[in-house]
Amino acid sequence: MSDELRYSMRFELTAEQVELRDALRRYLQAEVAPIVDEYERESRMVPAGIVRKMHEFGLLGGMLGEEDGGFNLPATTYGMLIAEVARVWPSLRSIVSTSNLAVSVLTDGGSDYLKRRYLPRVLSGEAIASFALSEPNIGSDAANLETRATASGQGWTVNGRKLYISLGPVCELGVVFVRTGGTGGPGDVSCLVFESGMPGFSVQSLPKMGMHSCPLGELLFEDVEIPRENLIGAEGKGFALAKKYLTIGRCVVAFSALGIAEAACDAAIKYAAERMQFGRPIAGFQLVQQMVADMLTLVETSRLLCFRAADALDRGSPDSAYLCSMAKRHATDAVLRVAELSLQVHGGAGYTSLFPVERYYRDARHLSIVEGTNQIQALLIAQKALGVSALK
Ligand SMILES: Cc1cc2nc3c(=O)[nH]c(=O)nc-3n(C[C@H](O)[C@H](O)[C@H](O)COP(=O)(O)OP(=O)(O)OC[C@H]3O[C@@H](n4cnc5c(N)ncnc54)[C@H](O)[C@@H]3O)c2cc1C
Protein backbone atom coordinates (compact mmCIF):
# COMPACT_ATOMS: atom_id res chain seq x y z
CA MET A 1 0.00 0.00 0.00
CA SER A 2 1.36 3.41 -0.91
CA ASP A 3 2.09 6.17 1.59
CA GLU A 4 -0.28 8.36 -0.36
CA LEU A 5 -3.11 6.02 0.60
CA ARG A 6 -2.40 6.72 4.24
CA TYR A 7 -1.79 10.46 4.22
CA SER A 8 -3.65 12.36 1.48
CA MET A 9 -6.25 14.84 2.83
CA ARG A 10 -8.48 17.29 0.92
CA PHE A 11 -12.10 17.78 1.88
CA GLU A 12 -13.67 20.92 0.36
CA LEU A 13 -15.81 21.19 -2.76
CA THR A 14 -14.73 23.95 -5.14
CA ALA A 15 -17.00 26.94 -5.79
CA GLU A 16 -17.71 25.54 -9.27
CA GLN A 17 -18.75 22.16 -7.84
CA VAL A 18 -21.07 23.84 -5.33
CA GLU A 19 -22.67 25.92 -8.10
CA LEU A 20 -23.25 22.86 -10.28
CA ARG A 21 -24.59 20.82 -7.36
CA ASP A 22 -26.96 23.56 -6.25
CA ALA A 23 -28.34 24.09 -9.77
CA LEU A 24 -29.03 20.36 -10.08
CA ARG A 25 -30.50 20.26 -6.58
CA ARG A 26 -32.89 23.12 -7.40
CA TYR A 27 -34.08 21.38 -10.57
CA LEU A 28 -34.54 18.02 -8.84
CA GLN A 29 -36.50 19.55 -5.97
CA ALA A 30 -38.74 21.64 -8.19
CA GLU A 31 -39.40 19.34 -11.15
CA VAL A 32 -38.56 15.78 -10.14
CA ALA A 33 -39.23 15.22 -6.41
CA PRO A 34 -42.99 15.90 -6.70
CA ILE A 35 -43.59 13.00 -9.13
CA VAL A 36 -41.26 10.30 -7.77
CA ASP A 37 -43.63 8.49 -5.42
CA GLU A 38 -46.45 8.34 -7.97
CA TYR A 39 -44.20 7.05 -10.76
CA GLU A 40 -42.57 4.44 -8.53
CA ARG A 41 -45.92 3.28 -7.16
CA GLU A 42 -47.28 2.85 -10.69
CA SER A 43 -44.01 1.36 -12.06
CA ARG A 44 -43.87 4.05 -14.73
CA MET A 45 -40.57 4.70 -16.46
CA VAL A 46 -38.85 8.00 -15.62
CA PRO A 47 -40.18 10.58 -18.15
CA ALA A 48 -37.97 11.01 -21.22
CA GLY A 49 -37.84 14.80 -20.71
CA ILE A 50 -36.20 14.35 -17.29
CA VAL A 51 -33.61 11.94 -18.74
CA ARG A 52 -32.80 14.44 -21.51
CA LYS A 53 -32.49 17.24 -18.95
CA MET A 54 -29.67 15.31 -17.23
CA HIS A 55 -27.50 16.24 -20.22
CA GLU A 56 -27.72 19.93 -19.27
CA PHE A 57 -26.21 19.16 -15.87
CA GLY A 58 -23.29 17.27 -17.38
CA LEU A 59 -24.60 13.93 -16.23
CA LEU A 60 -24.92 12.12 -19.57
CA GLY A 61 -21.40 11.32 -20.69
CA GLY A 62 -20.17 13.26 -17.65
CA MET A 63 -16.72 11.68 -17.50
CA LEU A 64 -16.23 11.30 -21.26
CA GLY A 65 -13.85 13.67 -23.02
CA GLU A 66 -15.26 16.75 -24.75
CA GLU A 67 -14.03 15.41 -28.12
CA ASP A 68 -16.52 12.55 -27.69
CA GLY A 69 -19.38 14.82 -26.66
CA GLY A 70 -18.85 14.44 -22.91
CA PHE A 71 -18.08 16.95 -20.16
CA ASN A 72 -14.69 15.73 -19.02
CA LEU A 73 -15.83 15.84 -15.39
CA PRO A 74 -13.53 14.51 -12.70
CA ALA A 75 -14.90 11.49 -10.83
CA THR A 76 -15.32 13.63 -7.70
CA THR A 77 -17.69 16.02 -9.49
CA TYR A 78 -19.54 13.29 -11.35
CA GLY A 79 -19.94 11.28 -8.13
CA MET A 80 -21.22 14.33 -6.28
CA LEU A 81 -23.88 14.85 -8.99
CA ILE A 82 -24.81 11.16 -8.95
CA ALA A 83 -25.40 11.36 -5.18
CA GLU A 84 -27.70 14.35 -5.71
CA VAL A 85 -29.78 12.44 -8.25
CA ALA A 86 -29.90 9.27 -6.11
CA ARG A 87 -31.05 11.32 -3.17
CA VAL A 88 -34.20 12.28 -5.07
CA TRP A 89 -34.81 9.44 -7.55
CA PRO A 90 -32.61 6.32 -7.50
CA SER A 91 -34.28 5.02 -10.69
CA LEU A 92 -33.17 8.15 -12.56
CA ARG A 93 -29.68 7.70 -11.16
CA SER A 94 -29.58 4.17 -12.51
CA ILE A 95 -30.68 5.30 -15.98
CA VAL A 96 -27.90 7.90 -16.03
CA SER A 97 -25.12 5.69 -14.68
CA THR A 98 -26.05 2.56 -16.67
CA SER A 99 -26.11 4.51 -19.94
CA ASN A 100 -22.79 6.11 -18.98
CA LEU A 101 -21.25 2.73 -18.17
CA ALA A 102 -22.25 1.42 -21.61
CA VAL A 103 -21.01 4.47 -23.53
CA SER A 104 -17.75 4.57 -21.56
CA VAL A 105 -16.93 1.05 -22.77
CA LEU A 106 -18.01 1.99 -26.29
CA THR A 107 -15.93 5.17 -26.31
CA ASP A 108 -12.81 3.66 -24.76
CA GLY A 109 -12.53 0.74 -27.17
CA GLY A 110 -14.80 1.73 -30.04
CA SER A 111 -13.93 3.00 -33.50
CA ASP A 112 -14.78 6.50 -34.73
CA TYR A 113 -17.61 4.89 -36.72
CA LEU A 114 -19.17 3.40 -33.56
CA LYS A 115 -18.81 6.67 -31.68
CA ARG A 116 -20.40 8.68 -34.51
CA ARG A 117 -23.19 6.18 -34.93
CA TYR A 118 -24.19 5.64 -31.30
CA LEU A 119 -22.89 8.33 -28.94
CA PRO A 120 -24.99 11.37 -29.94
CA ARG A 121 -28.37 9.75 -29.25
CA VAL A 122 -27.30 8.37 -25.85
CA LEU A 123 -25.50 11.50 -24.69
CA SER A 124 -28.48 13.70 -25.57
CA GLY A 125 -30.78 11.36 -23.62
CA GLU A 126 -32.75 10.42 -26.76
CA ALA A 127 -31.71 6.77 -26.47
CA ILE A 128 -31.00 4.59 -23.46
CA ALA A 129 -28.07 2.16 -23.46
CA SER A 130 -27.63 -1.00 -21.39
CA PHE A 131 -24.61 -2.98 -20.18
CA ALA A 132 -25.14 -6.73 -20.58
CA LEU A 133 -22.63 -8.91 -18.75
CA SER A 134 -24.51 -11.13 -16.23
CA GLU A 135 -26.14 -14.39 -17.34
CA PRO A 136 -28.36 -17.07 -15.79
CA ASN A 137 -25.34 -19.27 -14.92
CA ILE A 138 -22.75 -16.54 -14.58
CA GLY A 139 -22.80 -13.70 -12.04
CA SER A 140 -19.79 -13.18 -9.80
CA ASP A 141 -17.68 -15.44 -12.04
CA ALA A 142 -18.20 -13.08 -14.97
CA ALA A 143 -15.08 -14.11 -16.94
CA ASN A 144 -16.63 -17.51 -17.66
CA LEU A 145 -19.67 -16.27 -19.51
CA GLU A 146 -21.56 -18.55 -21.91
CA THR A 147 -23.16 -16.25 -24.49
CA ARG A 148 -21.41 -17.06 -27.78
CA ALA A 149 -20.56 -15.00 -30.82
CA THR A 150 -19.37 -16.97 -33.83
CA ALA A 151 -17.85 -15.33 -36.87
CA SER A 152 -20.27 -15.25 -39.79
CA GLY A 153 -20.13 -13.71 -43.29
CA GLN A 154 -20.91 -10.13 -42.26
CA GLY A 155 -19.81 -10.23 -38.64
CA TRP A 156 -20.98 -12.16 -35.62
CA THR A 157 -23.88 -14.48 -34.88
CA VAL A 158 -24.80 -14.17 -31.22
CA ASN A 159 -26.65 -16.75 -29.14
CA GLY A 160 -27.28 -16.68 -25.41
CA ARG A 161 -29.10 -15.03 -22.51
CA LYS A 162 -28.23 -12.06 -20.36
CA LEU A 163 -29.99 -11.81 -17.00
CA TYR A 164 -30.77 -8.92 -14.63
CA ILE A 165 -29.95 -6.25 -17.21
CA SER A 166 -30.89 -2.76 -16.03
CA LEU A 167 -32.94 -0.96 -18.67
CA GLY A 168 -32.97 -4.05 -20.89
CA PRO A 169 -36.69 -3.63 -21.63
CA VAL A 170 -36.32 -0.01 -22.76
CA CYS A 171 -32.83 0.25 -24.23
CA GLU A 172 -32.31 1.16 -27.87
CA LEU A 173 -28.80 -0.27 -27.84
CA GLY A 174 -26.27 -1.76 -25.50
CA VAL A 175 -22.90 -3.36 -25.06
CA VAL A 176 -22.97 -7.13 -24.76
CA PHE A 177 -20.10 -9.29 -23.53
CA VAL A 178 -19.73 -12.53 -25.48
CA ARG A 179 -17.40 -15.48 -25.78
CA THR A 180 -15.57 -15.40 -29.12
CA GLY A 181 -12.74 -17.84 -28.33
CA GLY A 182 -12.89 -21.51 -27.50
CA THR A 183 -10.59 -22.06 -24.54
CA GLY A 184 -12.55 -20.21 -21.84
CA GLY A 185 -11.56 -17.48 -19.39
CA PRO A 186 -11.19 -13.71 -19.66
CA GLY A 187 -9.02 -13.76 -22.80
CA ASP A 188 -11.93 -15.15 -24.83
CA VAL A 189 -14.40 -12.40 -23.95
CA SER A 190 -15.21 -9.75 -26.55
CA CYS A 191 -17.63 -6.86 -26.50
CA LEU A 192 -20.16 -5.96 -29.20
CA VAL A 193 -22.69 -3.18 -29.65
CA PHE A 194 -26.21 -4.50 -30.23
CA GLU A 195 -29.41 -2.73 -31.16
CA SER A 196 -32.74 -3.82 -29.68
CA GLY A 197 -34.26 -3.76 -33.17
CA MET A 198 -31.91 -6.46 -34.49
CA PRO A 199 -33.78 -9.60 -35.66
CA GLY A 200 -33.51 -12.42 -33.11
CA PHE A 201 -33.23 -10.08 -30.12
CA SER A 202 -36.00 -10.15 -27.52
CA VAL A 203 -36.42 -9.08 -23.93
CA GLN A 204 -38.48 -10.15 -20.96
CA SER A 205 -39.17 -7.75 -18.06
CA LEU A 206 -38.39 -8.98 -14.54
CA PRO A 207 -40.49 -7.95 -11.53
CA LYS A 208 -38.43 -6.67 -8.60
CA MET A 209 -38.39 -5.24 -5.07
CA GLY A 210 -37.71 -1.56 -5.79
CA MET A 211 -36.47 0.88 -8.46
CA HIS A 212 -39.82 0.46 -10.19
CA SER A 213 -39.20 3.33 -12.62
CA CYS A 214 -36.03 1.68 -13.97
CA PRO A 215 -36.99 -1.61 -15.64
CA LEU A 216 -34.89 -4.75 -15.36
CA GLY A 217 -34.88 -7.51 -17.96
CA GLU A 218 -33.58 -10.72 -19.39
CA LEU A 219 -32.15 -10.37 -22.90
CA LEU A 220 -32.41 -13.23 -25.35
CA PHE A 221 -30.07 -13.43 -28.34
CA GLU A 222 -31.22 -16.02 -30.89
CA ASP A 223 -29.01 -16.00 -33.98
CA VAL A 224 -28.67 -12.22 -33.76
CA GLU A 225 -26.45 -10.98 -36.59
CA ILE A 226 -24.21 -8.18 -35.36
CA PRO A 227 -22.05 -6.42 -37.99
CA ARG A 228 -18.30 -6.92 -37.80
CA GLU A 229 -17.72 -3.18 -37.23
CA ASN A 230 -19.75 -3.37 -33.98
CA LEU A 231 -16.87 -5.12 -32.20
CA ILE A 232 -15.54 -2.77 -29.51
CA GLY A 233 -11.74 -2.80 -29.52
CA ALA A 234 -9.98 -6.02 -30.38
CA GLU A 235 -11.30 -9.54 -30.12
CA GLY A 236 -10.58 -10.97 -26.66
CA LYS A 237 -10.27 -7.54 -25.01
CA GLY A 238 -13.85 -7.33 -23.74
CA PHE A 239 -13.25 -8.53 -20.21
CA ALA A 240 -10.46 -6.01 -19.60
CA LEU A 241 -12.86 -3.23 -20.67
CA ALA A 242 -15.61 -4.58 -18.39
CA LYS A 243 -13.20 -4.72 -15.45
CA LYS A 244 -11.91 -1.20 -16.00
CA TYR A 245 -15.37 0.35 -16.11
CA LEU A 246 -16.78 -1.79 -13.30
CA THR A 247 -14.10 -0.30 -11.05
CA ILE A 248 -15.40 3.19 -11.82
CA GLY A 249 -18.94 1.78 -11.61
CA ARG A 250 -18.28 0.70 -8.03
CA CYS A 251 -17.40 4.25 -7.08
CA VAL A 252 -20.59 5.45 -8.78
CA VAL A 253 -22.67 2.84 -6.91
CA ALA A 254 -21.07 4.04 -3.66
CA PHE A 255 -22.15 7.63 -4.41
CA SER A 256 -25.65 6.34 -5.21
CA ALA A 257 -25.80 4.71 -1.79
CA LEU A 258 -24.55 7.93 -0.22
CA GLY A 259 -27.38 9.92 -1.84
CA ILE A 260 -30.07 7.55 -0.58
CA ALA A 261 -28.50 7.47 2.90
CA GLU A 262 -28.51 11.28 3.02
CA ALA A 263 -32.18 11.35 2.09
CA ALA A 264 -33.08 8.72 4.71
CA CYS A 265 -31.11 10.54 7.40
CA ASP A 266 -32.68 13.93 6.54
CA ALA A 267 -36.15 12.36 6.66
CA ALA A 268 -35.50 10.94 10.15
CA ILE A 269 -34.24 14.26 11.49
CA LYS A 270 -37.28 16.10 10.12
CA TYR A 271 -39.71 13.51 11.46
CA ALA A 272 -38.06 13.43 14.89
CA ALA A 273 -38.47 17.19 15.22
CA GLU A 274 -42.16 17.06 14.27
CA ARG A 275 -43.45 13.91 15.94
CA MET A 276 -44.73 14.48 19.49
CA GLN A 277 -44.88 11.76 22.17
CA PHE A 278 -45.09 12.15 25.94
CA GLY A 279 -45.81 15.83 25.30
CA ARG A 280 -42.54 16.59 23.50
CA PRO A 281 -40.81 16.00 20.17
CA ILE A 282 -39.29 12.51 19.96
CA ALA A 283 -36.04 14.30 18.93
CA GLY A 284 -35.49 14.95 22.63
CA PHE A 285 -35.33 11.27 23.61
CA GLN A 286 -31.84 9.88 24.06
CA LEU A 287 -32.52 6.61 22.24
CA VAL A 288 -33.82 8.52 19.21
CA GLN A 289 -30.72 10.71 19.38
CA GLN A 290 -28.57 7.59 19.39
CA MET A 291 -30.23 6.39 16.18
CA VAL A 292 -29.68 9.80 14.59
CA ALA A 293 -26.02 9.79 15.70
CA ASP A 294 -25.53 6.34 14.17
CA MET A 295 -27.11 7.46 10.90
CA LEU A 296 -25.04 10.65 10.70
CA THR A 297 -21.83 8.73 11.35
CA LEU A 298 -22.61 6.18 8.64
CA VAL A 299 -23.43 8.94 6.16
CA GLU A 300 -20.23 10.80 6.97
CA THR A 301 -17.98 7.73 6.72
CA SER A 302 -19.63 6.82 3.42
CA ARG A 303 -19.10 10.34 2.10
CA LEU A 304 -15.43 10.32 3.08
CA LEU A 305 -14.80 6.98 1.39
CA CYS A 306 -16.74 7.96 -1.74
CA PHE A 307 -14.73 11.13 -2.30
CA ARG A 308 -11.52 9.35 -1.32
CA ALA A 309 -12.12 6.71 -4.00
CA ALA A 310 -13.17 9.28 -6.62
CA ASP A 311 -10.12 11.41 -5.88
CA ALA A 312 -7.90 8.34 -6.29
CA LEU A 313 -9.52 7.68 -9.69
CA ASP A 314 -8.92 11.29 -10.73
CA ARG A 315 -5.26 11.09 -9.79
CA GLY A 316 -4.80 7.72 -11.47
CA SER A 317 -3.66 6.31 -8.15
CA PRO A 318 -2.61 2.64 -8.10
CA ASP A 319 -4.90 2.30 -5.06
CA SER A 320 -8.03 3.44 -6.85
CA ALA A 321 -9.55 -0.03 -7.46
CA TYR A 322 -8.94 -0.93 -3.81
CA LEU A 323 -10.58 2.29 -2.59
CA CYS A 324 -13.52 1.91 -5.02
CA SER A 325 -14.18 -1.59 -3.67
CA MET A 326 -13.99 -0.30 -0.11
CA ALA A 327 -16.25 2.70 -0.75
CA LYS A 328 -18.75 0.49 -2.59
CA ARG A 329 -18.84 -2.13 0.14
CA HIS A 330 -19.06 0.34 3.01
CA ALA A 331 -21.55 2.79 1.52
CA THR A 332 -23.92 0.12 0.18
CA ASP A 333 -23.97 -1.71 3.53
CA ALA A 334 -24.25 1.57 5.44
CA VAL A 335 -27.25 2.83 3.47
CA LEU A 336 -29.28 -0.22 4.48
CA ARG A 337 -28.58 0.40 8.15
CA VAL A 338 -29.36 4.10 7.74
CA ALA A 339 -32.65 3.37 5.95
CA GLU A 340 -33.51 0.80 8.62
CA LEU A 341 -32.80 3.26 11.44
CA SER A 342 -34.73 6.01 9.67
CA LEU A 343 -37.70 3.66 9.37
CA GLN A 344 -37.42 2.94 13.10
CA VAL A 345 -37.40 6.66 13.94
CA HIS A 346 -40.61 6.97 11.91
CA GLY A 347 -42.29 4.17 13.90
CA GLY A 348 -45.42 2.79 12.20
CA ALA A 349 -45.40 5.64 9.69
CA GLY A 350 -42.08 4.39 8.33
CA TYR A 351 -43.56 1.04 7.40
CA THR A 352 -46.30 2.63 5.29
CA SER A 353 -45.80 3.94 1.79
CA LEU A 354 -47.22 7.28 2.91
CA PHE A 355 -43.62 8.19 3.80
CA PRO A 356 -40.65 7.61 1.46
CA VAL A 357 -38.50 5.70 3.98
CA GLU A 358 -39.64 2.19 3.03
CA ARG A 359 -38.85 3.08 -0.61
CA TYR A 360 -35.35 4.24 0.37
CA TYR A 361 -34.75 0.79 1.82
CA ARG A 362 -36.16 -1.03 -1.21
CA ASP A 363 -34.32 1.20 -3.68
CA ALA A 364 -31.00 0.79 -1.85
CA ARG A 365 -31.23 -2.96 -1.40
CA HIS A 366 -29.77 -3.95 -4.78
CA LEU A 367 -26.66 -1.79 -4.37
CA SER A 368 -24.75 -4.39 -2.34
CA ILE A 369 -25.34 -6.90 -5.17
CA VAL A 370 -24.59 -4.95 -8.37
CA GLU A 371 -21.15 -4.17 -9.89
CA GLY A 372 -19.71 -7.13 -7.96
CA THR A 373 -21.37 -8.25 -4.73
CA ASN A 374 -20.06 -6.96 -1.43
CA GLN A 375 -18.61 -10.41 -0.72
CA ILE A 376 -16.55 -10.11 -3.91
CA GLN A 377 -15.48 -6.59 -2.85
CA ALA A 378 -14.32 -8.00 0.51
CA LEU A 379 -12.15 -10.53 -1.34
CA LEU A 380 -10.65 -7.83 -3.55
CA ILE A 381 -9.91 -5.58 -0.57
CA ALA A 382 -8.24 -8.35 1.42
CA GLN A 383 -6.29 -9.51 -1.63
CA LYS A 384 -4.54 -6.14 -1.83
CA ALA A 385 -3.18 -6.46 1.70
CA LEU A 386 -2.62 -10.21 1.80
CA GLY A 387 -1.32 -10.70 -1.72
CA VAL A 388 -3.42 -13.84 -2.10
CA SER A 389 -6.54 -14.07 -4.27
CA ALA A 390 -9.50 -16.11 -3.01
CA LEU A 391 -10.96 -15.97 -6.51
CA LYS A 392 -8.44 -18.13 -8.35
C1 LIG B 1 -31.28 -4.52 -9.70
C2 LIG B 1 -30.13 -5.19 -10.42
C3 LIG B 1 -29.60 -4.60 -11.55
C4 LIG B 1 -28.59 -5.24 -12.26
N5 LIG B 1 -28.12 -4.67 -13.41
C6 LIG B 1 -27.19 -5.33 -14.15
C7 LIG B 1 -26.78 -4.81 -15.41
O8 LIG B 1 -27.23 -3.73 -15.85
N9 LIG B 1 -25.88 -5.52 -16.13
C10 LIG B 1 -25.36 -6.70 -15.71
O11 LIG B 1 -24.55 -7.28 -16.43
N12 LIG B 1 -25.73 -7.22 -14.50
C13 LIG B 1 -26.65 -6.57 -13.73
N14 LIG B 1 -27.06 -7.10 -12.53
C15 LIG B 1 -26.53 -8.39 -12.11
C16 LIG B 1 -25.53 -8.29 -10.98
O17 LIG B 1 -24.33 -7.74 -11.44
C18 LIG B 1 -25.35 -9.71 -10.42
O19 LIG B 1 -26.56 -10.04 -9.77
C20 LIG B 1 -24.16 -9.82 -9.48
O21 LIG B 1 -22.96 -9.72 -10.18
C22 LIG B 1 -24.16 -11.14 -8.70
O23 LIG B 1 -24.33 -12.22 -9.56
P24 LIG B 1 -25.45 -13.33 -9.22
O25 LIG B 1 -26.72 -12.63 -8.98
O26 LIG B 1 -25.41 -14.35 -10.28
O27 LIG B 1 -25.02 -13.95 -7.85
P28 LIG B 1 -23.94 -15.14 -7.62
O29 LIG B 1 -22.66 -14.81 -8.28
O30 LIG B 1 -24.58 -16.43 -7.92
O31 LIG B 1 -23.73 -15.00 -6.05
C32 LIG B 1 -24.68 -15.51 -5.09
C33 LIG B 1 -24.08 -15.30 -3.70
O34 LIG B 1 -22.85 -16.01 -3.58
C35 LIG B 1 -21.79 -15.13 -3.23
N36 LIG B 1 -20.56 -15.54 -3.90
C37 LIG B 1 -20.39 -15.88 -5.21
N38 LIG B 1 -19.11 -16.18 -5.45
C39 LIG B 1 -18.44 -16.03 -4.27
C40 LIG B 1 -17.09 -16.18 -3.86
N41 LIG B 1 -16.12 -16.57 -4.70
N42 LIG B 1 -16.80 -15.95 -2.55
C43 LIG B 1 -17.75 -15.54 -1.69
N44 LIG B 1 -19.04 -15.37 -2.01
C45 LIG B 1 -19.39 -15.61 -3.29
C46 LIG B 1 -22.26 -13.75 -3.70
O47 LIG B 1 -21.62 -12.69 -2.99
C48 LIG B 1 -23.76 -13.83 -3.41
O49 LIG B 1 -23.99 -13.54 -2.06
C50 LIG B 1 -28.06 -6.47 -11.79
C51 LIG B 1 -28.58 -7.06 -10.63
C52 LIG B 1 -29.62 -6.43 -9.95
C53 LIG B 1 -30.17 -7.08 -8.71
Strand partners, 155: 227
Mutate to test the pocket of ligand 1, among 93, 134, 137, 325 (most ligand atoms within 8 A of CB): 134
| 390: amino acid identity, one letter | A
Q: What's the 369 CA to ligand 1 centre distance in angstroms?
A: 5
- 274 CB-contact burial (10 Å; exposed 0-12 / middle 13-18 / buried 19+): exposed
pLDDT at 1 exceeding the cut of 60 = no
204-223 b/e (C-beta count within 10 Å ≥ 16 → b):
eeeeeebbbbbbbbbbbbee
Share above pLDDT 70 across residues of the chain, in percent, rounded to a whole number: 97
pLDDT at 5 exceeding the cut of 70 = no
Q: What was the pLDDT predicted at 392?
A: 80
Mutate to test the pocket of ligand 1, among 373, 374, 375, 383 (most ligand atoms within 8 A of CB): 373
Give CA–CA dist 232/221, Å, rounded. 18
Q: What was the pLDDT predicted at 6?
A: 59
Give the closest residue (by CA) to ligand 1 atom 16. Answer: 370
Categorize the per-residue pLDDT at 154 as very low, low, confident or very high, splitting at 50, 70 and 90.
Answer: confident
Give CA–CA dist 215/206, Å, rounded. 8
Give the closest residue (by CA) to ligand 1 atom 1. Answer: 366
Please, are residues 177 and 109 in contact by the beta-carbon 8 Å criterion? Answer: no
Residues 98-110, mean pLDDT to the nearest whole number: 96
Within 8 A by CB and 6+ apart from 158, the residues are 147, 148, 149, 176, 178, 192, 194, 200, 221, 223, 224, 225, 226
- 65 CB-contact burial (10 Å; exposed 0-12 / middle 13-18 / buried 19+): exposed
Share above pLDDT 90 across residues of the chain, in percent, rounded to a whole number: 94
Give the closest residue (by CA) to ligand 1 atom 17. Answer: 370
Please, are residues 32 and 89 in contact by the beta-carbon 8 Å criterion? Answer: yes
pLDDT digits (tens, 9 = 90+) for 50-96: 999 999 999 999 999 999 999 999 999 999 999 999 999 999 999 99
pLDDT digits (tens, 9 = 90+) for 269-315: 999 999 999 999 999 999 999 999 999 999 999 999 999 999 999 99
Q: What was the pLDDT predicted at 182?
A: 79
**Hey, which residues are catalytic here?**
371
Give CA–CA dist 149/131, Å, rounded. 17
Categorize the per-residue pLDDT at 49 as very low, low, confident or very high, splitting at 50, 70 and 90.
Answer: very high
Element (DSSP H or E) covering residue 326: helix 320-346
Mutate to test the pocket of ligand 1, among 95, 219, 328, 369 (most ligand atoms within 8 A of CB): 369
On whether the pTM is more than 0.85, the answer is yes
pLDDT digits (tens, 9 = 90+) for 322-357: 999 999 999 999 999 999 999 999 999 999 999 999
Q: What's the 368 CA to ligand 1 centre distance in angstroms?
A: 9
Pocket residues: Cβ below 6 A from ligand 1: 98, 131-134, 139-140, 164-166, 216, 366, 369-370, 373, 375-376, 379, 391
- What are the structural domains of the chain? 3-123 (1.10.540.10), 129-236 (2.40.110.10), 240-386 (1.20.140.10)
pLDDT digits (tens, 9 = 90+) for 168-182: 999 999 999 999 987
Give CA–CA dist 323/309, Å, rounded. 5
